[in-house]
Amino acid sequence: MSEQPPRDRYPDALRAGALLVVVFGHWIATLPRLEGGRLVGTEHMLQVWAPAGLLTWMVQVVPLFVFVSAAVSAEGVDRRLRQGADQLHWWAGRALGLARPTVTYLAALTAFALIAQFTGGRLLGPFNHSLTVHLWFLIMLLTVQALLPLSVCADRRFGLGAVFGLIALAALIDLTRAGPRSLTDLLKLGELVTSAGGGIGWLNALVVWLVPQQLGIAWKQGRFSGAWVGLGLVMVGLTWLAATTSSGYPLAMVGADLEGNSNLLPPTLALIGVMWIQVGAVLLCERPARAVLRLRHAAGTVVFLGALGMPLYLWHKLAELPAAWVGERIGAPIDAGLPGEPGFWTGRLWWLGLCSLMVAPVLAVVVWFEMRRRREVAQAQNPIPIVAGGLALLSGLVVSLALGTVPGALVGLIGVAAASWLLRLHPQTR
C-alpha cells in the first residue's frame, strides 16, 4: 500500500491568511457611533472616507479564496471525472459542510432577535443587516463550486484560453450594460457601467467569480508559475486597476462608494484587476512561504487556523454586539470620529481588540459543538434530495442576506435547516 504524500500546506496558509484579512477588514470597516456613551448606530468606512477604496485593493481577498479552493479541489474533481464518478455527491458534501454550521449561526441570531424583541434590547438594531451581509460569500462559493467539474473540463480542453474566454465574456457583459455609442464612450466605460444599473450586469455575478476558479485550476495544472510571472501579474493587475478606475469604475472593490456605485453589486471588470494582483502575489510568495511552512510551529498554526475557518467567518460579525456593549461599559473610544481626526486609528485598535476578545469564547463553544455533531456518509444515489437541499440552502442564505437578522435569520433558518436535513441523507463520503 503506497504511502500518502504529505499535505501541501501552502494553499491552507493562503486560505487562512485570506480569512484573517476578511475578518479584520470587516471589523475595521465598522464604525460604531455613540451618543452620551450609548451606541445609536454604525457606519461603514467606505461611506464616510473615499480614500478607503484604495484599502479595499488589499482586503478584497475573496478572489484569492476562490482561487485556492479551486486549486485544492481540482485534482480530486479531475480524478472523479476520469473515473466517471458522480460529481453531485461531491458537491453535496461541500454544501453540507456549509449548511450545518450556518444552521447553528442562524439559530443563534434568531434567539438573539427574540430576546431583543421581548427585552427591548437596543444593540441588535444597529447591526441588523451587518450580521447577515457576509453570507453572500457562501452563496457565491456554493454556486461556483457547483460548476467546478465544468471548469476542470474547460481547463483540460482550452488551458489558459478558458480564463481569457471568461474575461472576454465579462467584458462583453459590461459593454452591453454600458451601451457605448462611440470610441469616446469607451474612455468613460466605468462611468457608463455604474450609472446603467444592474440589469444584464448581474450575469457577471457568475462569470467574474468563475475567473479565479479557472485560474486556480490552471495553477494547479502547472500552466503558469514562478516569481517572475508573479511579478508580471502584479504589474498587470495594477495597470488594470489604474485603467478601469480612470474610466469611471469605483475605487472601492467591496460594498459601495460615497456615490452608491459598486464594483461588487454586480461584479465588474475592475474587480479582475484585484485577481491578477492576488494571483501574482501567490507566485511571488510561494518559495519563501513554503520554506517557512517547513517549520513545525508555522505548519501547526496553519492547521489551527484552518480548523477555525468556517466558524470564525460565520461568527466574527456577531462579536461586534458584545464588543459594543463592553465598549460602552468601560468607556472605550470605539467611536473615534472620522479618518483624519485625532484618535481615529487608536479607536480602531480598541475596536479590533474588543472584537477579538469577544469572538474567542464564542468560537470555543461553537467548535466544541460542531465537533460533536455526527457525520453520516452517503448511502443512496438519488439526486433529488441533493438538488432540493442545494436549492433550499441557497434560498435560505439569500433570504437571510436580503432581510437581515430580523426577520431574515428566522426565515432563512427554515431553508438552511431543511437543506441540512436533505443533504445529510447524501453527503460525500469522507
Which DSSP symbol is given to 123? S
Count of residues for the chain?
430
Q: Where are the alpha helices (DSSP H) in 120-226?
A: 136-146, 148-158, 161-178, 183-186, 189-195, 204-220
d(C-alpha 51, C-alpha 48), whole Å: 9
Structure-model confidence comparison of residues 416 and 368, the more confident one: 416
- Taking 50 as the threshold, does the pLDDT of residue 163 lie above it? yes
Find how far residue 98's CA is from the centre of its chain.
13
Predicted confidence at residue 114, as pLDDT, reads: 86
**Residue 266: cis peptide before it, omega within 30 degrees of 0:** yes
Contacts by 328-336, CB closer than 8 A, 24 or more apart = 328/34, 328/37, 328/38, 328/39, 331/37, 334/32, 334/34, 335/31, 335/32, 335/33, 335/34
- Mean pLDDT, to the nearest integer, of 381-408? 88
- Rounded Cα distance, 416 and 389, in Å: 8
Residue 427 — pLDDT band, cuts 50, 70, 90? low
Lowest mean pLDDT among 327-336, 341-350, 367-376: 367-376
Q: What is the pLDDT of residues 398-425, one digit of tens each?
A: 999 999 888 899 999 999 999 988 888 7
CA separation for the pair 210, 140 (Å, rounded): 10
Report the SS3 class of residue 35.
strand
Average pLDDT over residues 348-363: 93
Q: What stretch of H or E contains 290? A: helix 270-293
Please check the confidence at residue 54 and state whether its pLDDT lies above 70. Answer: yes
Residue 51 CA to residue 61 CA, distance in Å, equals 18
How many Å apart are CA 104 and CA 87, to the nearest integer?
A: 27
Cis peptide before 407 (omega within 30 of 0): yes
Q: Could you read off the pLDDT of 93-115 as tens digits, one per residue? A: 888 888 989 999 999 999 888 88
H or E element in which residue 322 lies: helix 320-330
Rg of the chain (C-alpha set): 22
Bigger pLDDT: 401 or 373? 401
In angstroms, the CA 263 to CA 253 distance is: 6
- Which of the two residues, 123 and 69, has the higher pLDDT score? 69
Quote the pLDDT of residue 375.
55
| Residue boundaries of the structural domains of the chain | 9-424
176, 235, 168: which is closest to 208 by C-alpha?
168
Above 60 in pLDDT, residue 428?
no
What's the average model confidence in pLDDT over 315-339? 92
Whether the pLDDT of residue 91 is over 80: the answer is yes
Tell me which DSSP letter residue 264 carries.
Answer: B
For 263, counting Cβ atoms within 10 Å of its Cβ (0-12 exposed, 13-18 middle, 19+ buried), the class is buried
The half-sphere exposure of 116 on its side-chain side, counting CA atoms within 13 A, is: 18
Q: Is pLDDT above 60 for 377?
A: no
Mean pLDDT calculated for residue range 124-137:
88
SS3 204: helix
255-259 mean pLDDT: 79
Residue 380 predicted with pLDDT over 80: no
- The arithmetic mean of pLDDT across residues 44-68, rounded, is 91
Q: What is the DSSP string of 95-108?
A: HHHHHHHHHHHHHH
CB 354 within 8 A of CB 327: yes
* pLDDT at 1 (0 to 100): 43
Q: How many Å apart are CA 320 and CA 30, to the nearest integer? A: 9
- Comparing CA positions, the residue from 19, 16, 82, 26 lying closest to residue 352 is 26
pLDDT-based confidence at residue 291 (cuts at 50, 70, 90): very high
Q: Which of 125-139, 178-192, 236-250, 373-387 has the highest mean pLDDT?
A: 236-250
Residue type, 6: P
Query: Burial of 286 by CB count in 10 Å (0-12 exposed, 13-18 middle, 19+ buried)?
Result: middle
Other C-beta atoms within 10 Å of 226: how many? 12
* Stretch 41-57: mean pLDDT: 89
**Is the pLDDT confidence value at 196 over 70?**
yes
CA dist 120 and 115 (Å) reads 8
